[in-house]
Structure 1
Amino acid sequence: MRKTFPLHIEGKHPDRLLDATKHDIRKYLKRERSRALPEGADYWDFDCLLGLTKEEAVPVRVGELIAQVDALAKAGAAQFYVQILACPGQRKTPPPKDGEVIEPPTAAPYVGD
């Protein structure tokens, strides 16, 4: 998703526009997370950029994205640019402590109906 969202449109309440943009961002994230993962990937990771314009956009963690959008709106921004790119991620296991043996997790057996 690469999009510039306006926060001030004549005839529309700014709070409703802000809610609509946050809804679009959450809907996009949900849709991307539901896609099938490629071989060897554990989850979908997101590379996010946020700023007033495309040229001013800076990297933002996906968990902080909505809070940063709220901060831009509170600062009185007329619009903002957001870029969200999904990329497959693989979880890294922490290194074992001295003398500790880490076994891979086992899946519980499926008990069908």
Structure 2
Amino acid sequence: MKKSFTFASKNKTPERNIDSIKFEIKKYIARERRKKLPEGTDFWAFDCKIGADESVSEILELKDIGKSIDNIFSQGHGAFYLEILARPAYKSKTKETQKK
């Protein structure tokens, strides 16, 4: 997902629009996680970027997207850019399994 979102809407307050944006993001992530994993991979990892626009977007963790959206809104920006890319990933081996 590479998309620009605006906080303004004709029929919603900006706060309600933020809630609907967050819900759309949750739906996208859930849909990506349901996809079949390639052979030999363990889970879907997500690479995320967010910013006021694409040129100033910063890398962040998936769990911090909601806070970042709220921060961008509180800074007075009218829109933001969000990029979420799913990639297959492997679980790292723990020390116990490496010893055996």
The two structures have a TM-score, normalised by structure 1, of 0.81
Structural mapping, 1:14-25, within 5 Å: 14-25=14-25
What does residue 69 of structure 2 align with? 69
Q: Offset of 1:35 from its aligned partner?
A: 0.5
Q: Which runs of 4+ in 1 moved over 4 A?
A: none
Aligned residues: 100
Q: Offset of 1:4 from its aligned partner?
A: 0.3
What does residue 79 of structure 1 align with? 79
**Separation of aligned partners in 2, 1:34 and 1:10:** 33
**Separation of aligned partners in 2, 1:44 and 1:59:** 17
More helix by percentage: 2
Q: Offset of 1:25 from its aligned partner?
A: 0.6
**Separation of aligned partners in 2, 1:13 and 1:65:** 20
Q: Structure 1, residues 55-110: CA drift from partner, whole Å, max 9, x if none?
A: 111101111111111111122220000000000010011224xxx955xxxxxxxx
Q: Which piece of structure 1 moves more, 65-74 or 48-57?
A: 65-74
Calculate the aligned-residue CA RMSD, in Å: 1.8
Q: Structure 1, residues 19-64: CA drift from partner, whole Å, max 9, x if none?
A: 1110111110000001111111111000001000011111011111
The two structures have a TM-score, normalised by structure 2, of 0.90
What does residue 2 of structure 1 align with? 2
**Separation of aligned partners in 2, 1:80 and 1:13:** 17
Aligned partner of 2:45: which letter? D
